[in-house]
Structure 1
């Protein structure tokens, strides 16, 4: 009798254990990358502390939720190429190894940009502005070296970043000033030569604004007419609550897709904080003073704002799902609210809440809303 009772206990214990394992497995599978796996890639930007083990809890979120990663800073010229005769691939190598370990689609960011590029690029040995030929040679060396190092390992590159001016035409950056508008063509040419199999993208902000969208279409067409390969366009999506006009957002997607290229949201976050000017931009040089009225949620985000943030994300994802045949990737610019760049831009020291995970890596209402939306049967 005792043996029979013991056997029943053991049997029940095994059943409970199996049931628990199934529940745990189901939890893990409920993730962004799982729900959207047949639609488009879900990515995030990584700080070096995600890949070197210093942000372990956040890294768990990355590995559970995302199937694509982009380098937040460690592949920018000032990090990789601090002086003419010096390259430092320490952090970039770890970033790429991390992506390979977790079987992720790896995006290098960024080869040519007006910001976060060391001043030596543009100076000769006398400290004066260098010649056109000299800068072209430096660009070629930089792109060949960086892209060549990760040939076959990094699947895609943001070749040129933010080349369009906020008012009209192309930004009058040092690249433009010294080389001319051809610097964009040369960058794509060199990147293609360095790795013909990597996808090559143009990336820029505020591309839902009509004049910037028009300029981006003009730029891509010009590159295509010259026989240069452009595989996709990245729509940086540094938005704010109730900022996005959905019909403009959708028009940008369809206009870019009509060029025969992939369309991506590459730097998605939605700030819940008031913007200090009426002209919302993502120009990194913008800086304003910190005053209490621009930092209203220093302790927590009220439930009403959680709901509004979720609604904003759902509005975007409804359009992305409608055009999922045109969208290849959606990448959030950061893992959680604690480390988002929006805490320090355009006002340093604020407490923003723009992402899907809070400061303790807990999923927010916006996360659950996107998950549930992704589970709905396709209406296409």
Structure 2
């Protein structure tokens, strides 16, 4: 299916720091190597995801042998070693990297992660510096969710401008597409596409999936630590989607792709976060054990009716 329908790939988990380096200095590239080889064998554009992220980082990254926070200097050295080892291994093969993931909050302030607490906001330019030193030809990206939120939009713009003012290489901004049937507004999403493009960088729609399930709270973005107790009332489609909901999902996908086509001069890539519904993380987030339908292919690996309409929309443009 991937060979037939897609021309670029990104790993959901196997290139994150936790799976790659569970213990300091002991890298396990077995799955990441297979991922990259698959992309090369099928002449696909390969994106690496992700070098620095507060989540799915191994605990040792931030602590010493007694469990205390390491010094600023130690954490910077660990960052540099990790980034340069990973990027260096795939130099010339992985064409672009999500260097930093989810470092800005919805209000535009910096997330108070361990990277921020120990190093300060400088951890972001340092990450971009180390990645560029490891592979001067690789494209470097910042990636985040809820990017249509005006506060986050301005926070990301400010952060990227600082990188540019320092002369650091940043080639693109990834707008995660974890969206629902009624959020965010297309108008705010479009404002962010234009605003990010105005920085002189490419815009990518990353991690696209559209949930049909009711949210336990209003528009929670994609914070992976969020978790709610299972309730039957928020898992209404265990036996399949009603026609009305299926049509609403189709129209929502079409609306987004019409927006992407409108701004195709700004958007370099659209990536879905998964292939078929049963593999999607949305079945277990933010409530474990639900049945969601967020992707283009169903649980039997068959294209949903929306796929032919998406192809038609792109072809007619």
Matched, 1:293 2:236: no
Separation (CA, whole Å) in 2 of partners of 1:338 and 1:91: 21
1:243 Cα deviation from its structure 2 partner:
1.4
Aligned pairs for 1:205-216 within 5 A? 205-216=145-156
TM-score (norm 1): 0.82
Choose between structure 1 and 2 for higher RCO, CA contacts under 8 A separated by at least 6 residues.
Answer: 1
Q: Which residue of 1 aligns with 2:188?
A: 248
Secondary structure of 1:98's counterpart equals helix
Matched, 1:361 2:301: yes
Secondary structure of 2:279's counterpart equals coil
Aligned pairs for 1:261-272 within 5 A? 261-272=201-212
Matched, 1:347 2:287: yes
Matched, 1:335 2:275: yes
Aligned with residue 235 of structure 1, among 175, 189, 194:
175
Aligned with residue 9 of structure 2, among 45, 69, 81:
69
Q: Which residue of 1 aligns with 2:121?
A: 181
Q: Which residue of 2 aligns with 1:316?
A: 256
Say if 1:205 and 1:236, in contact at 8 Å, map to a contact too.
yes
Matched, 1:118 2:45: no
1:265 Cα deviation from its structure 2 partner:
0.5
Bigger Rg over Cα:
1
Q: Runs of 4+ in structure 1 displaced over 4 angstroms?
A: none
Say if 1:306 and 1:364, in contact at 8 Å, map to a contact too.
no
Separation (CA, whole Å) in 1 of partners of 2:39 and 2:170: 24
Gaps of 5+ in 1: 1-60
Say if 2:48 and 2:96, in contact at 8 Å, map to a contact too.
yes
Gaps of 5+ in 2: none
1:246 Cα deviation from its structure 2 partner:
1.1
- Size of the alignment, in residue pairs? 317
Say if 2:106 and 2:149, in contact at 8 Å, map to a contact too.
no
Aligned with residue 151 of structure 1, among 91, 95, 112:
91
Matched, 1:198 2:138: yes
Separation (CA, whole Å) in 1 of partners of 2:211 and 2:306: 13
Separation (CA, whole Å) in 2 of partners of 1:79 and 1:371: 36
